[in-house]
Chains A and B, each alone.
Chain A
Amino acid sequence: MTNTFRPKSHQPITFIHTADWQLGKPFASITDPLKRGRLQQERYEVVRRIGAVVRDRQASFVIVAGDLFDSPTPTNDTISAALGAIAELGVPVFAIPGNHDHGGPDSLWEQPFFKRERARLTPDFHLLDSRVPTNVALRDRGDGPKNIVLLPCPLLRRHEADDPTVWIRELDFGDFGESPRIVIAHGSTTSFGGGGASRRDDDEDDAGRTGTNTISLDRLSLDEIDYIAIGDWHGFTAAGTKAWYSGTPEIDRFPKDGQEPGHVACVTAARGAAPTVTAVRTGRFRWLARQVALDAMNDGHGPTHVDDVLTQATEAQSPGEPGFDGCLADVQLTGTVSLAGRVELDRVIESWQARLLRLDLADDVRIAPTPDEIHDLTVRPDDPIIARVATELVRRLEAGEAGADLEVVRHALHILHGLAHTTTNAASTGAANA
Chain B
Amino acid sequence: MKLISVTIKNYRVHKDTSVSFDAARTLVGGPNEAGKSTIVEAVHHALFLRSRATGAVQKAMLSELHAGHPTVELRFESGGRVYEITKVFSGGSSASTILKELPAVGGAGGAGGGRTLRDEEAEQKIHEILQAEDVGGGRGVENRIRSQWSHLWIWQGAATEDPLAHANADRHGQLLRERLARVDGGGVLESALDAAAARDVAARHAETYSEKTKDKDKVRPNSPLGLANSELERAEAEHAGAAAAVEALDEAVRTIDAATPTIAACEAQLADARAEMDAVRARQRQAADLGVRIAQEESAAVAAEAAHAEAVRADAEIVACHREIAEREAKMAPALKALADLEAEERACGARCDAAAREMADAGRLQTAAATAFGLLDLHEKHETLLADREGIAGRCARIAEQRDRARTLEADLATIPAVTEAQVIELSRLDRARESADATLQAIATRVEVTQSTALVMLGGAECEIGSAVTITAPSELVVGGPGATTVRITPGGGRTLAEATQRFEEARAAIEAALAARGLESVEAARAARARRQSLEADIHAANVAIEGLGGDEAEASLAACDGKIAELAAEIRRRSGGQLARPANLAAAQAALATAERDLTAAGEAVTTASAAVTAARDRLDTVMTKRHEAGDRLRVTRTEVEALRTKAAVLEERHGTGRAPRIAALDDTRSQAAARLQASHRELQRLSPDALELDRQRLDRSITNLQAAKQDAETKRTLARARLEREGTIDPCEDLARAAARRRIAAAEQARAAREADAIRLLASLFGEKKREVESRFVAPLTGRVRDYLERLYGDGTSVNVEHDGGRFSRLTLSRRGVGDATFEFSQLSAGAKEQVAAAFRLAMAEVLAEDYDGSLPVVFDDAFVNSDTDRQRALQRLLDLAASRGLQVIVLACRPENYATLGAAIVSLDANPYVGGEAEG
Contacts and interface: CB of A to CB of B under 8 A. Distances in A.
A419 B197 contact: yes
A283 to B, nearest CB: 22
Nearest to A405: B762
A420 B749 contact: no
Interface in A92-138: 104-107, 111, 113
Contacts of B729: 106, 111
Interface in A293-337: none
B191 interface: yes
Contacts of B193: 382-383, 386, 420, 423-424, 427-428
B815 interface: no
A31 to B, nearest CB: 7
> Which residue of B194, B745, B771 has the most chain A CB atoms within 10 A of its CB atom?
B194
Contacts of A73: 249, 730, 735-738
Interface in A4-38: 24, 26, 28-29, 31
A161 B42 CA distance: 110
A40 to B, nearest CB: 10
Interface size range on B against A: 35 or more
B256 A105 contact: yes
Interface residues of A, number: 54
> Which residue of A70, A111, A419 has the most chain B CB atoms within 10 A of its CB atom?
A419
Nearest to B189: A384
Interface string B719-752: 0000011001111111111100111111011000
B774 interface: yes
Contact of A389 (B192, B733, B734, B774): B774
B760 interface: yes
A199 to B, nearest CB: 14
B218 interface: no
A75 B739 CA distance: 11
Interface stretch (A43-51, A170-178, A210-218, A409-417): A409-417
Contacts of B195: 427, 430
A416 B767 contact: yes
A70 B742 CA distance: 13
B778 A409 contact: no
Contact of B735 (A78, A105, A383): A78
A157 interface: yes
B732 A76 contact: yes
Contacts of B734: 75
Contacts, number: 166
A403 interface: no
B252 interface: yes
Contact of A24 (B191, B738, B743, B775): B738
> Which residue of A26, A111, A113 has the most chain B CB atoms within 10 A of its CB atom?
A26
Given A26-B738, A113-B732, A408-B759, A202 B748 contact: yes
A63 B843 CA distance: 102
A170 to B, nearest CB: 22
Contacts of B253: 104-106, 157
A203 interface: yes
Given A385-B198, A385-B774, A408 B192 contact: no
Contacts of A405: 762
A220 to B, nearest CB: 27
A111 B725 CA distance: 11
B188 A412 contact: no
B564 interface: no
A386 B732 contact: no
Contacts of A75: 732-735, 738
Nearest to A108: B730
Contact of A383 (B194, B724, B730): B194
B388 to A, nearest CB: 160
B306 interface: no
A426 B748 contact: no
Interface string A373-415: 0000000011111101100110000000000010111011011
Nearest to B249: A73
Contact of B777 (A70, A71, A388, A414): A388
A415 B729 CA distance: 55
In the complex, the 6 A-B pairs of residues with the closest C-beta atoms, listed nearest first: A76-B732, A28-B745, A427-B196, A71-B737, A106-B728, A431-B192
Given A75-B733, A423-B200, 15 more contacts: A28-B744, A73-B736, A76-B732, A106-B256, A158-B250, A202-B744, A383-B194, A386-B191, A393-B770, A412-B763, A416-B767, A419-B197, A419-B200, A423-B193, A427-B195
30 contacts: A28-B738, A28-B742, A28-B743, A70-B738, A72-B737, A74-B735, A74-B738, A75-B735, A105-B260, A106-B728, A106-B729, A107-B728, A202-B748, A382-B188, A383-B191, A383-B193, A384-B191, A385-B191, A385-B194, A385-B197, A385-B771, A385-B774, A389-B771, A389-B774, A392-B773, A411-B762, A411-B763, A416-B767, A427-B197, A428-B193
Interface of A: 24, 26, 28-29, 31, 70-79, 104-107, 111, 113, 157-158, 202-203, 381-386, 388-389, 392-393, 405, 407-409, 411-412, 414-416, 419-420, 423-424, 426-428, 430-431, 434
